Amino acid sequence: MGERDVRDLLERLDLPPEDPDFFPSLRERLRARDRSAARRWRVAAVALAAVATAAVAAAAVVATARGGGSVLDRTLSCTLAGSAVPGVGVDAWPRNGYADGGLRIFAGSRDSLLRLAGSVPGFSLDATRCRSASADVSLDVAGLDDFHVVGLGFDRVVARCLPSGRVLLRMQLGLDPAGHPDRATVALAGADGTPLGLFRWQPSLVRAWLGPDCPGG
Amino acid sequence: MSVEAARAAAPPEADAPTDEHERFERLVRRHHPRLRRVVAGIVGDRHRVDDVLQEAYLKAYRKLPRRFANEAHEAVWLVRVVHRCALDELRRTKRRREELGELGHLRAVPDERSARLDVDAAFARLAVGDRSVLLLVDLLGFDYEGAAAVLRVPRGTVASRLNAARRRFRELLEAGDGRA
């Protein structure tokens, strides 16, 4: 039995007539879903405002006119305590045909400190592990000689940096007018400010500069 | 506990049709007729097809990528979501539908030809993995890579599973009533 024969048979499988209200009903459910999402957004906005107010001395939230989007620049100090696997991991990937690009910074093997994806508005930050910091973390690549780049496809940048106790994390996040991340620069440094790695993420391109305490590729 | 950071822009008015809704509906309509056949073929209960598809589309909307590399990737992505939802539905109802005779789409209606019943019965007796690969490759026309991406199995598994599924389908049809 060949492909065409099977297709002919499958076309004969019984199929009920389509409900004429299918798409009107779907539209209504999508609207209801958006209303629910809007309510959640308002709650999240209040939470963010509280965090931003507390962190105003250390974190800069800079609105720009670039295409109506905005840039968020924050420096955080995150504890790595309590993780069975030492260090802080980085996983960054560009989009491919099946999934959107994203970036994740995590303590140990799985506890996300920072997570963002091109298809999801905003970002996710573990406020139980990270707090705003006033340290000066450079976004420069000086001293970070191990360079990696990943373009569209199925590759990703994976690294594990090995600071002790805490890691300083500075993120400069660009958001499009709909709030989706469209670029991010994340610098990791040890508690004493020693640069560990720098990651520049865009939906279609990931570049990483790694120092000797941040092996990966 | 994580804090979801807010979007830079205010959310769209929820009651108005949005560009995203329209984009999504256009995408869905491109594939909807064939996806109905996929869901019917997997779930088996013709009365559940539209409900399963609605749930699948809502899930797909939540995960809608901003763009696709091409139309083939779009199809693979949407079929994968729908296929997964159909499998979930099948698992939920499996205990209630162990008996072949309970499969809704096997119910004969007076004016249906016995040939159709034979095809439906034979197809329903295939394992869900066999049904999936036949629907993806032979009905939707996916290549092995696309089917492998939907099923999350290696390409070689698709090829071997397809051959076996065609053979079993033929054997069931040759048995005459799908009860081989």
CB contacts of B36 in chain A (<8 Å) are 15, 18
Q: How far apart are CA A104 and CA A110, in angstroms?
A: 10
Write the pLDDT tens digit of every residue in B7-55. Answer: 333 333 444 456 778 889 999 999 999 999 999 999 887 788 999 999 9
Residue A17 contacts B where some CB pair is shorter than 8 Å:
no
> Looking at the partner chain, which of B28, B29, B41 has a beta carbon nearest the beta carbon of A13?
B41
Residue B73's pLDDT band (cuts 50, 70, 90): confident
Tell me which residue has tokens 């390409």: B155
Restricting to B residues 48-87, those with a Cβ less than 8 Å away from any Cβ of A are 49-50, 53-54, 57-58, 61-66, 68-70, 72-73, 76-77, 80
Q: Which residue of B has its CA nearest to A114?
A: B2
- What pLDDT score was predicted for residue B17? 52
ipTM over 0.85: no
- Indicate the average pLDDT of chain A: 80
B120 vs A: CB within 8 A: yes
Read off the DSSP letter of residue B97: G
* CB spacing of B169 vs A9 below 8 angstroms: yes
Enter the pTM of the model.
0.51
User: Listing from the earlier edge strand, what are the strands of the sheet with A120-126?
Assistant: A157-161, A88-93, A102-107, A111-117, A120-126, B2-4
Could you tell me how far CA B56 lies from the centroid of its own chain? 9
A77-114 tens-digit pLDDT: 999 887 777 889 999 998 876 678 899 999 877 778 99
Under an 8 A CB cutoff, do B40 and A48 touch? no
What CA–CA distance (Å, rounded) separates B32 from B38?
Answer: 10
- Per DSSP, what are the bridge partners of residue A187? A170, A198
Using a CB-CB cut-off of 8 Å, the residues of chain B touching A29 are: 54, 58
Q: Is A105 on the interface with B (CB under 8 A)?
A: no
pLDDT of residue B104: 45
Identify all chain B residues contacting A38, using CB atoms and an 8 Å cutoff. 11, 14
Nearest residue on chain A to B166, alpha-carbon basis: A1
Say whether residue A216 is in contact with chain B using an 8 A CB cutoff.
no
B142 near A CB under 8 A: no
Give the residue on A whose Cα is nearest the Cα of B57.
Answer: A26
